[in-house]
Structure 1
Amino acid sequence: MIPKDPVMLLSYMNTQLRDFYGSLDAFCEDKNADRKELEEKLASIDYVYDPAANQFV
């Protein structure tokens, strides 16, 4: 289950991206998650996806 709280989501996403997925698109495809929704929720706490680092920074 993907966390709803933005701070918990940040930790979850960066761990998932680091340990299991080569990109945010790969995560979203595997988990059937809405990329735009994830990015908007994390943008609300001033984090954006950095494809070069494959994490939210």
Structure 2
Amino acid sequence: MLPQDPAILLSYVNTCMRDEGCSLEEFCQEHDADQEKLEQKLAQLGCCYDPEHRRFG
């Protein structure tokens, strides 16, 4: 289960993608997460996904 707090979720997602070297799509498949909902939740913090660097910022 993914963290519900947006700030903790941001840290968790970025850390996992960095450590696993995966894209957001791969992360969502691996963690059975809805990519659109994840992006919306992190948008609450003003963050969007940067596919070139494979991270939210």
TM (norm. structure 2) is 0.94
CA distance in 1, matches of 2:42, 2:21: 18
The alignment's C-alpha RMSD in Å is: 0.8
How many residue pairs align between the two structures?
A: 57
**1:5 lines up with 2:10 in the alignment:** no
Determine what percentage of the aligned residue pairs are the same residue.
Answer: 47
5+ residue gaps, structure 2: none
* Matching residue's letter, 1:12: Y
Question: Cα deviations across residues 16-38 of structure 1 (Å, max 9, x unaligned)?
Answer: 01001420000111111000000
| 1:20-39 correspondence runs (5 A) | 20-39=20-39
